[in-house]
Structure 1
C-alpha cells in the first residue's frame, strides 16, 4: 500500500480522500491547499504549493501528520517510488556544459562551487540554496534535466544537494 490520505480537519477528522498516484491539481478533488492533516502509508510523497508540481516542495515520509500549517498546505503531489539509487550529474555552466561532477550521496558543495545545470540519472534529489539546507528548496526527479538553475528559481546556485 502506497497511499496518502488527506483530511480537511486536524487530527485526521473531517472529509477525507485517499490517493495512490501523482495528482497535478488537488483543486479538482476539492482539496487544493485545504488539507489540515494527513497520513502516509508506504512510499514517501513530495507535495508542491502550486498545481502542476510547481512551487515550494515538502517531503512527507511514512507516518501520521496530525496538523499541517497553512504555509505547508499544497495543491499537487508526486509519489516517490521506483526511482532507483540516487545519481545526479552537475554541470558548472548552463546547457550542460563545462566541468561536470557525478554524485550519489548527500553533498554540501565547496564554497564557491557553482551548479548551473543538472541531469538526474536516477532517484530524487533535494537541492538547497544554502549549505545548511535552508532557503530555496527544489526537488528533482529521475529524468529531470535543468539547463539553467535560474529557471527553477535559484538566483544563486544551489549550495547543497541530498537524495530525497
Structure 2
C-alpha cells in the first residue's frame, strides 16, 4: 500500500512519525504545522495545508523529499494516502463546460502549453488514475488533484476555467 514518514526538521532530522493511513488532522497526534521533511514508500501521499484535506497541497511520490522554500514548511495539517489504482491512467479533457466541444484523451504527462489545447479546457472526466492538473506548463501556479471516476463538468467551480497548461498522472509506488 503506502507509508509516509514525517520529520520535524529538514534533511530527515529530529523527531519522526510514521503513517500508513490518512490522517485528517495532525493536531490530533501533536504534529500540526511542524513537518519539514518526508519520506514516502509505496503509493503517493498528499500533504494539505489545513485539516480535513483543505487548502494548498503538495503531492509526494515514492522516494525522499525535502521542503524547498517556505511554501509548505511547518504548514502541514493533514495527510492523505492515494489509494486508487494508478496503473494505465486516462483522463478526457473537454474544451467547454458540461463535456462539450473538442475532447482530448490523455494517458501520460502532457504539456498543453506546447500545442493548441493550452488554456482552453473547461471540464474533464477521469477514467483511471489520479491526475495533477497545473495552471502553468512548468507545473506551478494553481493546481488541482483530479481523482479516479471524477467527472468535473465546469472548471469555473474550482477557478480553473481556461487555465490548464500541464497535467500528469501520479506514479504508482513500487509496492502496487
CA RMSD of aligned residues (A): 2.4
1:66 positional shift: 5.2
Structure 1: tracts of 5 or more residues without a match: none
Paired residue for 2:92?
A: 89
Structure with larger RCO (C-alpha < 8 A, sep 6+): 2
1:122 positional shift: 0.9
Paired residue for 1:150?
A: 156
Paired residue for 1:104?
A: 107
Paired residue for 1:74?
A: 76
Structure 2: tracts of 5 or more residues without a match: 171-176
1:145 positional shift: 2.4
How many pairs were matched up?
Answer: 164
Q: TM-score, normalised by structure 2?
A: 0.78
What does 1:1-164 align with in structure 2 at a 5 Å threshold?
Answer: 2-65=2-65, 69-72=69-72, 73-81=75-83, 82-109=85-112, 110-111=115-116, 113=118, 114-154=120-160, 156-164=162-170
Matched residue SS, 2:71: helix
Q: 1:67 to 1:83 in 2, by over 3 A?
A: closer
Q: TM-score, normalised by structure 1?
A: 0.83
Cα shift readout 1:101-160 (whole Å, capped 9, x = no counterpart): 211112222345411111111111111112232221222221222222122232542112
Q: 1:112 to 1:61 in 2, by over 3 A?
A: closer
